[in-house]
A and B are shown apart, each in its own frame.
Chain A
């Protein structure tokens, strides 16, 4: 008996009232017993995911069922490839309700505390999330369509030469403390981004064009003239990364050199004001952050209701991802701030089928797992492997040798698509089928390795070079990231088949990043390059040989000819305003990349996200934070 049937016991005819109270007590007691029994029944008879619990409860039948299900899912996955429509958003339909109502609170599990309340001071994921909730920008990249939308900027016009923009700001907008928002705040925020005492290293670099800052002047309170140092094709898109902060609150701290402390975690919450949909109302270190509705938020929905719909958002800090999942399933939270792990898919699917959660297939990730060799000049100068370890042929051979389907099935449990370059089908605008795709061909891989002198010289099945040095290298990857660990093992096993020995080195996060950033202490790496915007112009740090994110050869002093070619193409790509030409140039870049393979990509996983069944009006995105990027329109079902 369902618990919601119990109140019906009160619907008794009036003439039975004398008996009704006694009967009702008895029946309620009985109902309670049934209810408790039913709870146990659902608890232990239902399909239980955790095998250990099944062993403990003796429900091995469920375990067998689980294994059978897992096998079936794997088989279906393997047979069908489970390939969501390229570039599509899978089943990422938003759960719109006819007329969302105001009210309600949303419980979100996050893994770490913010390091600050200011995005100018820290760039960690939770600080970024706080920024999404409390601040606003001139424009917003819609994380669902990846198109630019006017936000605080109501409209803009581009100058004839394409280097400056006249921006009209939305009128009658006020900060959460009631202070009016004007062009002076935009001017201040942009200057703050470049100030070494402000956002200098955190935000400023991403807002530079050709290494130079963008300038803003404010001719009147609702107009800003923004001048780029050169023509920049994506134009206003760059300002999605610039929170507009209140000058009246932060100017004094900046002048006093105490900006980083101004909105630190020790700051008084009343000192923090913003233009975002929520304000921070309480912070309990180690436990939670509570955000209340910003009653002065500037947006209204189509029917004129002031946003946000929610009264409160509560970010509960739950470091363990398994505990986060259990909270969601048990109805103790409404969503995880980020995507769910591939290995959690099957249990969430069951919970979704039972109506307890909503599961979203958001389509293929923008960021595939990336494998690259250390191509820094001189990195292997004194190494006996220097003759072949940085050669294009080795990377091409690896690309041929690794079965991308096996990689996908093992690493992403079949959910995803094989990829052959950094740009995945999720990037609808920039993905091109013209970019060459490497077939799985171990025989051709062996031939390529032989062409650089790597053959089996002693008949042990493993390859050696002319000096007898074994064809052996290590892959460094992050410890604890199961997808990377599995990926490195697949590469190791696939390369063993062609006689190349691979050692997998698992490193703690900071240690790995330290090595990759310095270009020292590693042979090859498997990592994910966090692409959050498909626009190539926002990825210059990766594509340009001088870019800090040019991971295979960071800070290259002597770029190779093909790297120079990419530099030239990208310089043209970001400075032409002809979109068709931009696309053509970027396809050229991808083709050069595919020819030299400085980074090898094998698969892009499908991104899944989940919420409780009471959350509505979601606009999920393939990039983080999957739901909360549009927190102002999330509602609770009534």
Chain B
């Protein structure tokens, strides 16, 4: 188990290094740099050269990369070209905001999706399980972009929730909760559907297993068998994707955060990409890969806990 964790940690470190390096290099090589966007068509070549020199964009890419890497290992990811703020500071602010969304979405999805899956998986027939399955399929087929657009539209037409942003001026916890409804809804609904579908299929397979039939034959109540014995055995598919879901959510969702004006990591990354803010792009990519690696590790560990054979 120890070596297993070490192996996964080494892989995680490599993932972070590779993703952030690649994103820096790709953002740097992409046509049109930050100076072009900042100065526009109206700038003289001299002014453009001056700005590039000031920002260090005129240096060879290898030199720029080595310099960035030597600082990145000390957790100094440089400063944003656009606004001069330290990248680490910008990421910390945005990641905290994204984490609020991600944690809430995950909590709600687990709380709703898992029981729904057990319920629909244990009842192959019936109107209600069929309705749950249909709703899940519908939600699964809706990309988060569309879900968030629909929820934003719903909020606009009803006036029940704020359409965009994270808080009102001077707003407290309740205000934050109100602002969270739309983005959390957009993230949670497809997740509920995914968890429901996975858990439903796993449950329907497990309840036909001999050990479940034997337990029932011993007179153990069906509800207890279902929610204690069968659930544990059916958790494997959820455990294997759970960490990935955590990682993906924490990395930020471009669509949801942009549409609902949530100041999270996804929106920060998108803005950085648009502006060719190379250091911020690399920083965001590093943060996203840290979350993804942590999620994968978490997923693997959860899988080992549910099924010890996975560590082999």
Contacts and interface: CB of A to CB of B under 8 A. Distances in A.
Interface of A: 39-40, 43-44, 48, 50, 52-53, 56, 109, 112-116, 122-124, 196, 200-201, 205, 260-261, 264-266, 282, 284-288, 290, 314, 316-320, 322-324, 326-327, 329-332, 507-517, 521, 527, 529, 541, 548-549, 551, 555
A288 B165 contact: yes
B178 to A, nearest CB: 12
B83 A201 contact: no
Contact of A205 (B44, B165, B271): B44
A99 B251 CA distance: 52
A531 B34 CA distance: 23
Given A286-B268, A326-B163, A317 B43 contact: no
30 contacts: A48-B157, A122-B38, A201-B43, A201-B51, A260-B84, A261-B84, A285-B263, A287-B167, A316-B261, A317-B263, A319-B267, A319-B271, A322-B152, A322-B259, A326-B155, A326-B156, A330-B163, A331-B159, A332-B164, A510-B33, A510-B274, A510-B276, A511-B30, A511-B32, A513-B37, A513-B41, A515-B32, A517-B43, A548-B43, A548-B45
Interface stretch (B89-97, B105-113, B282-290, B295-303): B89-97
Interface of B: 30-34, 36-48, 50-51, 82-85, 90, 93-94, 97, 146, 149-150, 152-153, 155-159, 162-167, 169, 258-261, 263-264, 267-268, 271, 274-276
B33 A201 contact: no
Contacts of B47: 200-201, 205, 548
A96 B289 CA distance: 54
Contacts of B166: 286-287
Given A265-B84, A323-B260, A330-B156, A515 B31 contact: yes
A282 to B, nearest CB: 8
Given A509-B274, A517-B41, A527-B41, 13 more contacts: A115-B38, A200-B47, A201-B47, A205-B47, A264-B84, A266-B84, A286-B267, A323-B163, A330-B156, A508-B274, A510-B276, A514-B32, A514-B36
A200 B48 CA distance: 11
Contacts of B162: 332
A266 B83 CA distance: 9
Given A319-B267, A323-B259, A327-B164, A290 B169 contact: yes
A48 B157 CA distance: 9
Contact of B159 (A39, A112, A515): A39
B36 A326 contact: no
Specify the main secondary structure of chain A where it touches its partner: mixed
Contacts of B258: 319-320
Nearest to B50: A201
B202 to A, nearest CB: 31
Contacts of B50: 196, 200-201
A319 B152 contact: no
Contact of B32 (A53, A266, A290, A508): A508
Nearest to B277: A115
B83 A264 contact: yes
A329 B156 contact: yes
B83 A265 contact: yes
Given A112-B271, A316-B164, A517-B43, A327 B83 contact: no
B152 A509 contact: no
Given A323-B152, A326-B152, A509-B274, A549 B32 contact: no
A510 B36 contact: yes
B80 to A, nearest CB: 9
Contacts of A314: 169
B261 A516 contact: no
A317 to B, nearest CB: 6
A514 B258 CA distance: 26
Given A287-B166, A510-B276, A319 B261 contact: yes
Contacts of B43: 201, 205, 517, 548
A332 B159 CA distance: 9
A124 B36 CA distance: 12
Nearest to B94: A286
Contact of B93 (A285, A507, A515, A551): A285
A510 B39 CA distance: 10
Greatest chain B CB density within 10 A among A116, A316, A326 is at: A326
B32 A320 contact: no
A548 B263 contact: no
Nearest to A290: B169
A509 B44 contact: no
Nearest to B40: A513
Given A264-B84, A514-B31, A332 B41 contact: no
B308 to A, nearest CB: 44
A481 to B, nearest CB: 13
A317 B271 contact: no
A548 B44 contact: yes
Contact of A116 (B84, B90, B169, B267): B84
Nearest to B273: A508
A513 B36 contact: yes
A507 B259 CA distance: 22
Nearest to A480: B274
B103 to A, nearest CB: 18
Nearest to B39: A201
A43 B158 contact: yes
A510 B34 CA distance: 7
B189 to A, nearest CB: 14
Contacts of B90: 285
Nearest to A46: B157
B21 to A, nearest CB: 21
B97 to A, nearest CB: 7
B166 to A, nearest CB: 6
B38 A124 contact: yes
B290 to A, nearest CB: 20
Given A201-B51, A551-B41, A116 B150 contact: no
B151 to A, nearest CB: 11
A44 B42 CA distance: 48
